[in-house]
Amino acid sequence: MPGQKLKLTFLAFLISAFSSIASAQQVDHPLNALDTDEVANVVSILTQAGEVDKDTLFTAIRLKEPVKAKMWAWRDGDPISRKSVVIFRRGPKTFQAIIDISSSKVVSVEEKTGVESSVLISEWRTAQALTLKDPNWQKAMRKRGFSNFNTLFCSPILPGYLPGRDYEGKRILNVPCYEVSKSKNHRYGRPVEGVFAVVDVNAKKVIDVVDTGVVPVPAPVSNYEDQGNTAFRPALNPVINVSPAGANFKLKGGLQVEWQNWSFHLRFERRNGIVISLVRYNDKGELRKVAYQMALSEMFVPYMDPYPTWSYKAFLDAGEYGLGYLASSLRPGQDCPLNAVYINAVVPSDTGKVFPVERAMCIFERATGDPAWRHAENAGRDVESRRAVDLVVRMIPTVGNYDYTLDWVFTQAADIKLRLGATGILAIKGVETKSMKDSTAKHDTKFGTLVAENSVAPNHDHYFSYRIDLDVDGLNNTFTEGKVTPFTLPPENPRREIWTFDQTPAKFETTMGEQSGLWFVKNTNKKTGLGHSPSLEIEMPTRVVSPLSPAFSPQSRAVFSNKSLWVTAYDRSQVYAAGNFPNQSKGGDGLPAWIATPQDISNKDIVVWPTIGIHHIPRAEDWPIMPTLWREITVRPFNFFEENPALDLNPAFARPQKKQNPSLRPGKTE
């Protein structure tokens, strides 16, 4: 197919012409992620102090941020002092240390008892190897007709916590396996159902093999990969996003971003992935504070199947695994458009070194194809319209079977959109049923959907808790709940009823569930030219919360998902919505504990924690790979400006310049 080949070559040309990679330079900002040298320094300082040795495993080596007030005041060239929080394991014991990198000192080391830190790849491998060698597991597999275990892929996962399980002092991985002889890129489609091994990686042994009976393994999954055996529809004529005259954003060091009145700092962390800090808006020359920090704080993915092989499945993906740890390299031209700039990251490894993630993030401008605003007069003949262009920062962690596209979108009308797209492979339970016409169907699909022969996708949720530390024109802000209330007019008014809008400030730390959804963070200490208190609205059009009682596990471990929004007093130690150590946690940690005694939040520094989610009732269309399903939160100015902030959008594009934007280093091309 020469036509096809030509088109592919053309795309490859465009990719090589426009893709570029930015990489972080030396530490030029106090909020940069630790670089390779700093991670090595931290480990060396701890080694010299006798706190760690070659057998120590590290679950976190991350920046300990300077205090917030100092960061808002920090300017390019000001002194930079660096500290690190380190979590490490010596044998079964967990420690947390604070290191002053700048003065090469150990500030503190504390043993953390009764907690389990996030899982390590080395433990994952250990659990895999122990399972494959275990005689009881082998017996269970032989019973299912497997004699050659080379065709099996075992995928250890964390057990959460269910009362009555004797996990005290143990570090558990549950190990289900999949038949993979006929799949390269679809390893979760053919579960060997009804059996899993329970491994204690502290004791390095299989402590149980749960076997509830033999279930057929589903047939091989149809291939969706680009391997020439998929019947593609005819290729499209190119529909592409390019910036032929260069990008309009500036990237500085590692990494400060400037675009269309916005400026912010970007870093990449092992636990939360992208962290955006110091978000400012240049309002006609005045750099106004918008948000100190925004990041995805925690995720919760509980499955709704009561059988022993499934009931424990309720994952806290950020805290148990790590979104940066599981980041996948972005595929140019597919995961991000042709005009994207890619940013490589280094992630601290289990052994106290770093591993590189090429193209961990991308940043790009997107022509939305929509008007930012428009109006027509004179019977539609006179039109004023301005095209909208967004700036997007993206990463995609692959958490086992699922891929989550995490986007931070900045608009020209001063909105910030936190978007999350779920795609990848449904978790599959093997069943007898081949068709909904079968007599077994009613039983097999009570808790899920038949998506292929012998394959049920159990119902489940995805909850995403964001930590958004807004500082609207300053640190002291007030949270208000807006309300629309019917208003009865006097009898002589034929209209009789309208509605009115008013806002009630929250005095103490609080949660929002089924309420109005009209939520604002405002600065009552400032007034705009019109006399308004500048505000930002938290808009969540699709609010999904867990209907389950926080009295029972696993819901008790992720109480954040019971409410759409939590509002807390700023506390720099409160970063993770389900607590610092969610692995095997017994519940109640994080947000519910922090607001147990509600603090005064009236005209104080506050943090909002919106949760967006999906009750995922799988459908046939989600198989064999799920079309991306998006959710989003918008942080929207509300009387923050005195008029439409995008009024000055230029209807023309700049004339192409010969010289490319010098801030875009050409770097390595794909």
DSSP conformation class of 33 = P
Give 68 or 616: the residue with its C-beta nearer to Cu ion: 616
Minimum separation from the CB atom of position 552 to Cu ion (A): 21
Give 34 or 626: the residue with its C-beta nearer to Cu ion: 626
**Residues 600-639 as x/- pattern, contact with Cu ion by CB under 5 A:** ----------------x-----------------------
Give 29 or 616: the residue with its C-beta nearer to Cu ion: 616
Give the interface size with Cu ion as a residue count (CB under 5 A).
1
What DSSP element (H or E) covers 112?
Answer: strand 105-112
**Residues 558-597 as x/- pattern, contact with Cu ion by CB under 5 A:** ----------------------------------------
Q: Let me know: does 608 contact 468? Beta carbons within 8 Å.
A: yes
Give 170 or 616: the residue with its C-beta nearer to Cu ion: 616
279, HSE (Cβ side, Cα atoms, 13 Å): 22
d(CA 321, CA 200): 17
Give 340 or 452: the residue with its C-beta nearer to Cu ion: 452
Contacts of 23 by beta carbon, 8 Å cutoff, 6+ apart:
254, 343, 344, 667
Minimum separation from the CB atom of position 462 to Cu ion (A): 5
Q: How far is CA 329 from the centre of its chain?
A: 15
Give 288 or 616: the residue with its C-beta nearer to Cu ion: 616
In b/e form, how buried is each residue of 493-521, taking b as 16+ CB within 10 angstroms? Answer: eeeeeeeeeebeebeebbbbeeeebbbbb
Minimum separation from the CB atom of position 422 to Cu ion (A): 6
Residue owning tokens 């020439």: 228
Contacts of 303 by beta carbon, 8 Å cutoff, 6+ apart:
310, 311, 313, 314, 427, 458, 459, 460
> Is 402 an annotated catalytic residue?
yes
Minimum separation from the CB atom of position 622 to Cu ion (A): 8
> Is 576 an annotated catalytic residue?
no
d(CA 609, CA 575): 10
Measured CA to CA in angstroms, residue 626 lies from 304, 396, 423, 571 at distances of 19, 15, 5, 39
Minimum separation from the CB atom of position 442 to Cu ion (A): 23
Minimum separation from the CB atom of position 455 to Cu ion (A): 15
Residue numbers 259-298 binding Cu ion by CB under 5 A: none
Q: Let me know: does 306 contact 327? Beta carbons within 8 Å.
A: no
Give 563 or 616: the residue with its C-beta nearer to Cu ion: 616
Give 274 or 425: the residue with its C-beta nearer to Cu ion: 425
* Residue number of the CB atom closest to Cu ion: 616
Closest by Cα among 499, 420, 514 to 463: 420
d(CA 260, CA 281): 9
d(CA 559, CA 113): 23
Q: 668: helix, coil or strand?
A: coil
Query: Which of the residues 305, 317, 403, 407 is marked catalytic?
Result: 317
Minimum separation from the CB atom of position 612 to Cu ion (A): 14
Query: Which of the residues 312, 321, 325, 402 is marked catalytic?
Result: 402
Return the C-alpha torsion angle 564, 569, 572, 574, nearest 10: -40
In the complex, the residues that contact Cu ion under the rule CB under 5 A are 616
Catalytically annotated residues: 317, 402
